[in-house]
A and B are shown apart, each in its own frame.
Chain A
Amino acid sequence: MRKRHPVPGLLIPVSMETDMPAVQETIDRVRKIDVDQYKYGFETLIEMDVAPKGLNEDIIRLISTKKNEPQWMLDWRLKAFERWKTMESPDWARLDYPPIDFQDIHYYAAPKSMSGPASLDEVDPEILRTYEKLGIPLKEQEILAGVRKADEPSEFDDNSDTPPAEGSYSGRVAVDAVFDSVSVATTFKKELQKAGVIFMPISEAIREHPELVQKYLGSVVPISDNFFATMNSAVFTDGSFVYVPKGVRCPMELSTYFRINERNTGQFERTLIIADEGSYVSYLEGCTAPQRDENQLHAAVVELVALGDAEIKYSTVQNWYPGDKDGKGGIYNFVTKRGDCRGANSRISWTQVETGSAITWKYPSCILRGDNSRGEFYSIAVSNGRQQIDSGTKMIHLGKNTSSRIISKGISAGNSSNTYRGQVSAHRKASNARNFTQCDSLLIGEECGAHTVPYIESKNATAQFEHEATTSKISEDQLFYCMQRGIPEEEAVALIVNGFVKDVIQQLPMEFAVEAQKLIGISLEGSVG
Chain B
Amino acid sequence: MSVVTELKTRTPAETQLLQLAEARGENENARRPAIEALRRDGLPTRKVEAWHYTDLRALVGRRIKDDAAVASLKAGDDAILEPLLANSVVICLDDPVSAHLPDGVMATSSSSVADWQASPNHLDRSIDTIRALSAAFGASSAKIAVSSKTSVDTPIELRPAAGSDSHFYAQVSVGEGASATFVERLEGDGSPAPSTGVSTLTIADRANVLWIVDQEKGAEASHLGQLNVTIGADAVFRLFVLNAGGGLVRYEVHAETVGEGADVQIRGANLLKDGQHVDVTTTLNHRVPNTTATETFRNVVTGGHGVFQGMIKVAKGAQKTDAKMACNSLLLSDEGDFSAKPELEIFADDVQCGHGATAGEIDADHLFYLMSRGIPEATARALLVKAFLGEVVEELEDEAIVEALEARIDTWLDTHA
Interface positions of A (Cβ within 8 A of B) = 92, 428, 441, 443-473
**Cβ–Cβ contact A454 & B353, under 8 A:** no
Contact residues in B for A446 (Cβ distance below 8 Å):
316-317, 348-349
Within 8 Å by CB of B351, from A463, A467, A472, lies A472
The yes or no answer to B355 lying at the interface (CB within 8 A) is: yes
The yes or no answer to B397 lying at the interface (CB within 8 A) is: no
Contact residues in B for A464 (Cβ distance below 8 Å):
358-361
Given A449-B347, A451-B346, A467-B358: A472 and B352 within 8 A (CB)? yes
Against A, the Cβ 8 Å flags (1 = close, 0 = not) of B46-66 are 000100100000000000000
Contact residues in A for B352 (Cβ distance below 8 Å):
470-472
Identify the closest chain B residue to A452 (Cβ). B344
CB distance from B278 to the nearest CB of A (A): 15
Contact residues in A for B351 (Cβ distance below 8 Å):
443, 471-473
Identify the closest chain B residue to A451 (Cβ). B345
The yes or no answer to B332 lying at the interface (CB within 8 A) is: yes
Could you tell me how many residues of chain B have their Cβ less than 8 Å away from some Cβ of chain A?
Answer: 35
Given A92-B49, A467-B358: A459 and B337 within 8 A (CB)? yes
**Cβ–Cβ contact B359 & A469, under 8 A:** no
Identify the closest chain B residue to A456 (Cβ). B340
**What are 11 A-B pairs at a CB distance below 8 A?**
A443-B346, A451-B343, A454-B340, A455-B340, A460-B331, A460-B334, A463-B360, A464-B358, A467-B358, A468-B354, A471-B353
A463 to B346, CA, bound (A): 30
| Main SS at interface, chain A | strand
A462 to B339, CA, bound (A): 15
**Cβ–Cβ contact A461 & B354, under 8 A:** no
The yes or no answer to B366 lying at the interface (CB within 8 A) is: no
Identify the closest chain A residue to B329 (Cβ). A458
Contact residues in A for B359 (Cβ distance below 8 Å):
456, 458, 463-465
CB distance from B273 to the nearest CB of A (A): 14
Contact residues in B for A448 (Cβ distance below 8 Å):
347, 349
CB distance from A425 to the nearest CB of B (A): 8
Given A460-B331, A471-B351, A471-B353: A454 and B341 within 8 A (CB)? yes
Please give me the 7 A-B residue pairs with the lowest Cβ-Cβ distance, nearest first: A443-B349, A464-B360, A461-B331, A459-B337, A458-B359, A470-B354, A452-B344
A153 to B140, CA, bound (A): 89
Contact residues in A for B354 (Cβ distance below 8 Å):
468-471
The yes or no answer to B333 lying at the interface (CB within 8 A) is: yes
CB distance from A20 to the nearest CB of B (A): 42
The yes or no answer to B357 lying at the interface (CB within 8 A) is: yes
Interface positions of B (Cβ within 8 A of A) = 49, 52, 316-317, 329, 331-334, 336-361
**Cβ–Cβ contact A469 & B355, under 8 A:** yes
A460 to B361, CA, bound (A): 9
CB distance from A64 to the nearest CB of B (A): 35
CB distance from B416 to the nearest CB of A (A): 15
Contact residues in B for A451 (Cβ distance below 8 Å):
343-346
A107 to B103, CA, bound (A): 76
Given A467-B356, A471-B351, A471-B354: A456 and B344 within 8 A (CB)? no
A446 to B350, CA, bound (A): 8
A75 to B172, CA, bound (A): 65
Given A449-B346, A466-B358, A470-B354: A461 and B332 within 8 A (CB)? yes
CB distance from A220 to the nearest CB of B (A): 25
CB distance from B280 to the nearest CB of A (A): 14
CB distance from A392 to the nearest CB of B (A): 12
Given A446-B317, A471-B351: A458 and B337 within 8 A (CB)? yes
A464 to B357, CA, bound (A): 11
**Cβ–Cβ contact B337 & A462, under 8 A:** no
Apart from A455-B340, A468-B354, list 8 A-B contacts with CB within 8 A. Answer: A441-B344, A441-B346, A449-B346, A449-B347, A461-B333, A467-B355, A472-B353, A473-B351
CB distance from A226 to the nearest CB of B (A): 15
**Cβ–Cβ contact A453 & B341, under 8 A:** yes
Contact residues in B for A444 (Cβ distance below 8 Å):
349
CB distance from B299 to the nearest CB of A (A): 10
Given A456-B339, A473-B351: A449 and B345 within 8 A (CB)? yes
Identify the closest chain A residue to B341 (Cβ). A455
Identify the closest chain B residue to A431 (Cβ). B334
**Cβ–Cβ contact A471 & B346, under 8 A:** yes
Identify the closest chain B residue to A421 (Cβ). B343
A445 to B342, CA, bound (A): 24
Contact residues in B for A468 (Cβ distance below 8 Å):
354-356
A6 to B49, CA, bound (A): 49
A446 to B348, CA, bound (A): 5
Identify the closest chain A residue to B332 (Cβ). A461
CB distance from A429 to the nearest CB of B (A): 9
**Cβ–Cβ contact A470 & B353, under 8 A:** yes
Contact residues in A for B342 (Cβ distance below 8 Å):
452, 454, 456, 467, 469
Contact residues in A for B348 (Cβ distance below 8 Å):
443, 446
Contact residues in A for B343 (Cβ distance below 8 Å):
451-454
Contact residues in A for B361 (Cβ distance below 8 Å):
461-462, 464
